[in-house]
Structure 1
Amino acid sequence: MKRVKTALIILLLAGGISTLQAARPTITGRVEPDSIMIGDRFDVVIDVERDLVQVVEFPVYTPAPESGLEIYQSHPVDTLQRDGRKLVLRKRYTLAAFEEGDFNMGVAQALYLDKNIVDTLSTADSLRLHVGTFQIDSTSQSIYDLKPQRTLPFKYAEIAGYVWWALLGLALLAGAILLADHLLKRYGKRFRDIFQPAPPQPPHVVAIQALETLHSQKLWQSGRYKQYYSTLTDILRTYLAGRYGFGAMEMTSDEILQAVRRYELPQKSVMDLNTILRSADLVKFAKAMPDSEQNEDCYLKAFYFVEETKPKEITEEEDEEEPQQ
């Protein structure tokens, strides 16, 4: 009796272990249809029956270029059947054939993963495809050369409408040209005055406007001394370049002071320019921080430098206009 019980326990344990170990997935493959005409499409169908805990990865199907086959679409994996722990999956590839003949496409494969197992599933038989082409029976069907192009006689009626429309277009174009010429002769000066660009402003006007803009920005009041003095000296350099015609923008402070000595500038203006350039150099290169009185003084010196060195004829015109006001 004890031996019978021991045998039953062994059988039950063996059955439990066998149920825990899932069977290896099975794979089948086929070509639908397996015989086509050249240029037609066909499907490669791969079915895999696996356990629920097993993982199967289908490959990316890429036929060789010289094979005459081209992949048209790779369809998503579809679940055909689910019975308890068993699943039946299907992968479908749509291809096209452009070469005739019999093709051995090899076995269909899929990657199989189960716990620590990584293996490749393969079908038992290779996938085969027959691609036929159209056969011409030259005995019952005659083959002719291409016929040459037939030349038909020219008829004016075929283009008469186009000719009348072209003449009407030319007449309208000529009328528009004559009208434009008349308008230009009569009102041309007015049109030129409208579209003529405004003359450039004198250098001293540009400099005064730039100085006023700089004063309204309040740079040194917010601690931006370097930006304030860089802008101030750039305004003066631009004014000197436009007023006297030398490259002040590329010169150092010493070179600028040397260049202005060639012109008859008031001595006070030269001294003011020297003070502004030296103060700016100290701020830009020695990181000096002048007080508010010096900052405002440099601005006023720059303003009066422009006023005192602008062209004399402009100054005389402004003096003559003042009594009239």
Structure 2
Amino acid sequence: MVKRFLIIVLVVVCSLAAMAQVDVEARIDSLEMVIGQQTKISLTVKTKEGSQVQFPTFKPQQMITPGVEVVETGPVVTSDVGNGLCSYQRSYTITSFDGRLYYLPPFEVKVGGKAYKTKSLALKVLDIPVDTTNVEKFFGPKDVQDNPFLWSDWSVVFWFSLLMLLTGAATLYLYLRLRDNKPVVAHIRIVKRLLPHQKAMKRIEEIKAEKMVSSENQKEYYTRLTETLRKYIEERYGFRAMEMTSSEIIDRLTETQDRQALDELRALFQTADLVKFAKYSTLINENDMNLVNAIEFINKTKLENQQEEVVEKPQLTEEEERSVKERRVLKTTIWAFAAVSAAIMVYVVYSLYQLLT
């Protein structure tokens, strides 16, 4: 029995502690206001951080109570108050157009799905006192008055209207001139460019197709093979390999390339020099080895991440360039005049509306 009693007491204490962690408050900025004025109601909820807080929602002009309507609902403002608690606040702007004392019922706020109600509020709306004893002080509506014509009122509109017509005429003249001046059409070509290693491999394939490896004319074979390598090196590394000797080319490549690949390339150039200048005769397997060495050198040193398409812009004559510049100036001037005309027209229309109303 005592044990059951202690359990009930523990449950009640935990419930009270949970309720104590939620504090809901309603506050009004002013208890009195003149009819048509506005005041604010602030709802503040203090609860555990991360709790789901749902404030009451009101649409614009929705009545809280008959005679008091909501003008605007503010955003939810969150702030940390310490000890694991957080403050949530939302304000409601209200107004009234009927002078009397209003009772504002409690607002319902949901925290974690559970409803909590605030205290009720009161709002007194004051009427504006009207002296009904002196009726002679009240004046009825006036008749429509005819304003006299004053040139000073219309002169600015007149001159701006004239300026608008002049700028419009100038815009039309420049447009007709631009239309008669035919544009210069320059076609930009996109050319697919072969990369240096692709060109070199294409020439080597031509050498293989012509079966020059087994040809008796070894001088022509080595001449074409070394020219292919020289052109590849020139395009790949950016120095004039076609005008340099074999040893000079090897010296330029020594700092950047694999020494084993350079040794094979040096042997190829030396063999080619002997064949071309010393009438040295090579064996077929030696020719095959030099061709394979050339292909391996190209594959080891090629750069594949290069732009393969090149945009070629045509060269214009002086007359065409002058025509392009003239059209550019005409277009800029036309747009400027058109913008000025539009701005003046807006100003003239607005001024006429002000004068006529």
- How does the TM-score come out when normalised to structure 2? 0.34
Q: TM-score, normalised by structure 1?
A: 0.37
| Structure with more relative contact order (C-alpha pairs < 8 Å, separation 6 or more) | 2
